[in-house]
Every structure is written in structure tokens, then in C-alpha cells.
């Protein structure tokens, strides 16, 4: 089968890599893709201007479309492909609001009585002041819409939270979401659902802060390990019973057509797991760790899901007991100052890891890569244990020629990163 993959980042690169291992896949069309995908022989990169042009190109050429970035949900690309009769892994625009609008997600959570932090939705400075007066423990400020991972501020003090709220109101506009700060360990739990049935797509520990020890500004993600080392079988069952199944039931009750990946971002608190937010897709860099572990027929499973005939057979078995570690190499100064021009070379020296590229192109006068984003590459390794995967990953990063870049040194480390 021919498959379309929408997106240009490291997440989409890892999707293309995983799909290329499926025996039923003949060709993968990446729109727009990136030059790092050129090493995958069956992948062809095709740019497009708008939804109409994409539909014209894909009509009668592909049997399945896989959406990476939520941008394509928000822009109506998923709806346009579905209306053209192309099965899509990705929610329709109305269901996709569970990610693209945090206000929508907060109302969904409240309506279906799901565990989450105390939340206030505000639209102006007067309501901001009233919310802080009523709930002085507010420390988290979120903008409503898509913000490339930079629309969240976690403040240490009440005054810092107030300042962040007013700054976000000016920068992003209304509404804003104000929340209490939860204490615990973050974890993402990913499922694949056709709106009726669902299968687990494993768990992940994502590292959002820019610097070691979970310090520094919040980013789109500096690394991930899968499965989450914090999940016990008992906690896994609790997440399924109190969050996953009620979320799927809630979408059915609200008549939201959802066919695709849903990544539920959780905080594992002393009171139990609570929902931080939803991703209406696989996250980045969680995808790199999750799909590198996957050993089944990914294309066949996604095709069944898109056609509304998903079953649970084989999905858990396909992950096995291996662990994966992904470390993001970003521009020096990311995420606040990305003016530097980084150097990333030496990929031929990589021994035990995979390298997934973010949005990039080749330099005209050399073989160097020129990157368009703050995050440059994800180096991902798999091992029998988390420690083995981590060791492979960091040894391969040390083999690269790097300049004017940054990366965390504690991804997957037992101490100093919030992991137990």
C-alpha cells in the first residue's frame, strides 16, 4: 500500500522509518517531509500549498494518510482528506479540539468528571485577577491554542504566575487556562482508537524542561524514555479504569469522531494520576521512543483503525520488554534564544542508535544540514534495559561533531530527573 505521512519533523521521520518496516507498504509519501528522510528508499518527499492541492495529488495514489503535527487537524487537512475518501489516522477538526483548544479540553474533562488539576478559564485581566484571588495556588498558565510547545508557563511564585498570565493574554489572546501546580512525575499514556475500540501504544516519560534536573524554561520536549519507568502494573490498571476508558466513552457520548493516536499527558501524584493535557497525535519526542520499540505491522494496524475496525490483537505483544531512550539535540539557547547557527555532523559514526531529523535542508555548498527549528535531531537507542538504551544513546551522541548546540545529560537517569 502507499501511505501519506503529513509533517516535517523528527516525529514524522520516525513514523516513516517505522512504516517502512511494514511488509505491506510499497511507497511512503511525506508531505512536506525533510531531507533527513532521504535515507529511506521507499520514501518520496512532496511539498503542497493547500488542502485542495494535497487532495488532488493523493486521490487514487494513497490508501492511508497518517497525521503527525496537530497543525493539520487545526487547518482542516484531516477533514479534507476524509471527505475525499482517503482513510486518515488523525481526528476530525471537532474532535481534534481536545488538543488544539485547551479550553475545550478543560470543559471536556469537567463534563466527564476526569481527574485533573483545579482549572480556571479566563478571558480578560479582570477575570485573571478574580481567579488568582479565589485560588492563590494557581501556578500554571496556558494559552488556548497551538503554540509549538511554548504556550505554557510554570511559575514558582504567585506574582510570577500573575505576570505570566498578563503576558500570555497580550501575546496569545483569550482565553487562558489557569491551573494549580501538581507535584509528582509526568508520564504520557498513548492509545490508538477508532472511536469505539482502543489499544495501548505504551507509555513514555517526557522531559519538558530545557536543562538538567528538570530546570529551565518549558520546551516542546528535550527527551523521552519508553516505557515509563514509573508505571507499575497496578498504576497502569488505574489509568485505564479512571482515565483512558472514560475518555473514549466521553468522546463517544459527545459524538466526536476520533480515529487515531491520543496521547494523554499525566501527572502521577500522591492522590493518583491526573490529566495535564491531551495530544491528538503522537507527541515529539515520545514518538521516536515508542515507535522504535514497536515490532508489529504498524501499517496494517493503522489501516484497520482508520477504517473503524480496530481490534486489540497483537498490539501489546509487538512492544515486548525493550526500553528506548531519545535525546533531543537543540540549538544553543533553545527555547528562548535560537539565533545561533548550529553545526551537527558525523552521522556516519553512529553505531547503535537511530537519528531522526527535524525540519531541515542540505546546504548548497556542502553536505551540512541547515535546520529551520529549535530542536535539530533526536538520537534514539533501544536496549534490553533502560540503562542499556541510555548508554548506547549517549555514546553515539559523543561520536557526533557538535557545535553551538545543547542537550540534556540526564535523560533516563535514575537520579536528578524526577525518575524513581
| Complete DSSP assignment for 21-80 | TSTT--EEEEEE--GGGGGSTTEEE---SSHHHHHHHHTTT-SEEEE-STHHHHTTHHHH
* Other CB atoms within 10 A of residue 291 CB: 24
SS3 letters for 89-100? ECCCHHHHHHHH
Contact status, residue 303 vs residue 310, Cβ threshold 8 Å:
no
Handedness of CA 222, 224, 230, 233 (dihedral sign): positive
pLDDT score at 420: 36
Helix (H, G, I), strand (E, B) or coil at 162: helix
Quote the cell numbers at residue 104: 475545550
pLDDT score at 419: 39
Contact status, residue 326 vs residue 289, Cβ threshold 8 Å:
yes
Q: How many whole angstroms separate alpha carbon 90 and alpha carbon 280?
A: 7
Which of 379, 372, 380, 376 lies closest to 406 in space, CA to CA? Answer: 376
Alpha helices (H) along 294-409: 298-306, 386-399
pLDDT score at 320: 82
pLDDT score at 317: 59
Name the E strands within 157-315.
Answer: 176-180, 185-193, 198-211, 215-226, 260-269, 272-279
pLDDT score at 149: 57
For the chain, give percent helix, strand, coil, nearest 5.
Answer: 30, 30, 40
Which of 289, 271, 183, 259 lies closest to 235 in space, CA to CA? Answer: 271
* Other CB atoms within 10 A of residue 76 CB: 14
Residue pointed to by grid coordinates 516525529: 11
Q: Burial, 57: exposed, middle or buried (Cβ in 10 Å; 0-12, 13-18, 19+)?
A: middle
Q: In order along the chain (420 residues), what is the average pLDDT of each group of 10 residues?
A: 96 97 95 94 93 92 91 88 93 89 97 98 98 97 80 92 96 96 94 93 93 90 96 95 97 94 96 95 94 92 92 68 96 89 95 96 82 95 97 98 97 62
In order of their start, the domains of the chain are 2-92 (3.40.50.20), 118-180 (3.30.1490.20), 184-306 (3.30.470.20), 323-406 (3.90.600.10)
Q: How many whole angstroms separate alpha carbon 150 and alpha carbon 28?
A: 31
Which of 361, 373, 375 lies closest to 327 in space, CA to CA? Answer: 375
Name the E strands within 84-147.
Answer: 88-89, 119-122, 138-143
Q: Is the bond leading into 64 cis (omega within 30 degrees of zero)?
A: no
Task: Give the max Cα distance, the chain.
Answer: 60
Amino acid at each position: 500500500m502507499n501511505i501519506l505521512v503529513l509533517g516535517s519533523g523528527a516525529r514524522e521521520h520516525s513514523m516513516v522509518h517505522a512504516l517502512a518496516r511494514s511488509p505491506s507498504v510499497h511507497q511512503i509519501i511525506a508531505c512536506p517531509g525533510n531531507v533527513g528522510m532521504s535515507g529511506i528508499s521507499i520514501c518520496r518527499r512532496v511539498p503542497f500549498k493547500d488542502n485542495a492541492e494535497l487532495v488532488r495529488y493523493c486521490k487514487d495514489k494513497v490508501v492511508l494518510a497518517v497525521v503527525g503535527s496537530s497543525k493539520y487537524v487545526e487547518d482542516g487537512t484531516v477533514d479534507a482528506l476524509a471527505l475525499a475518501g482517503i482513510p486518515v489516522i488523525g481526528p476530525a477538526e471537532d474532535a481534534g479540539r481536545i488538543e488544539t483548544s485547551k479550553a475545550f479540553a478543560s470543559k471536556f474533562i469537567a463534563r466527564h468528571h476526569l481527574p485533573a488539576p483545579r482549572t480556571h478559564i479566563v478571558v480578560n485581566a479582570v477575570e485573571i485577577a478574580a481567579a488568582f484571588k479565589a485560588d492563590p495556588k494557581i501556578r500554571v498558565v496556558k494559552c488556548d491554542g497551538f503554540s509549538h510547545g511554548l504556550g505554557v508557563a510554570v511559575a514558582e511564585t504567585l506574582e510570577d504566575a500573575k505576570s505570566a498570565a498578563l503576558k500570555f493574554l497580550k501575546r496569545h489572546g483569550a482565553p487562558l487556562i489557569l491551573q494549580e501546580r501538581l507535584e509528582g512525575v509526568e508520564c504520557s499514556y498513548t492509545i490508538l482508537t477508532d472511536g469505539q475500540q482502543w489499544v495501548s501504544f505504551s507509555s513514555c516519560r517526557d522531559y519538558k524542561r530545557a536543562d538538567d534536573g528538570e530546570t529551565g524554561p518549558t520546551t516542546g520536549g528535550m527527551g523521552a524514555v519508553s516505557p515509563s519507568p514509573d508505571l507499575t502494573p497496578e498504576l497502569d490498571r488505574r489509568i485505564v479504569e479512571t482515565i483512558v476508558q472514560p475518555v473514549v466513552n466521553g468522546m463517544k457520548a459527545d459524538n466526536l469522531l476520533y480515529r487515531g493516536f491520543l496521547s494523554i499527558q499525566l501527572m502521577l501524584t500522591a492522590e493518583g494520576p491526573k490529566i495535564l493535557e491531551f495530544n491528538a497525535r503522537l507527541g515529539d519526542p515520545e514518538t521516536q521512543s515508542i515507535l522504535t520499540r514497536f515490532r508489529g505491522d504498524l501499517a496494517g494496524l493503522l489501516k484497520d483503525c482508520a477504517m473503524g475496525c480496530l481490534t486489540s490483537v497483537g498490539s501489546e505483544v509487538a512492544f515486548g520488554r525493550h526500553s528506548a531512550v531519545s535525546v533531543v539535540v537543540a540549538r544553543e539557547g533553545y527555547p528562548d534564544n535560537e539565533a545561533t547557527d548550529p553545526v551537527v555532523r558525523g552521522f556516519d559514526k553512529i553505531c547503535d542508535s537511530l537519528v531522526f531529523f527535524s525540519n531541515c535542508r542540505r546546504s548548497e555548498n556542502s553536505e551540512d544540514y541547515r535546520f529551520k527549528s529549535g530542536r535539530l535531531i533526536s538520537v534514539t537507542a533501544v536496549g534490553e534495559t533502560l540503562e542499556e538504551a541510555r548508554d548506547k544513546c549517549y555514546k553515539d551522541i559523543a561520536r557526533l561533531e557538535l557545535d553551538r548546540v545543547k542537550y540534556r545529560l540526564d535523560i533516563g537517569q535514575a537520579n536528578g530527573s524526577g525518575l524513581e
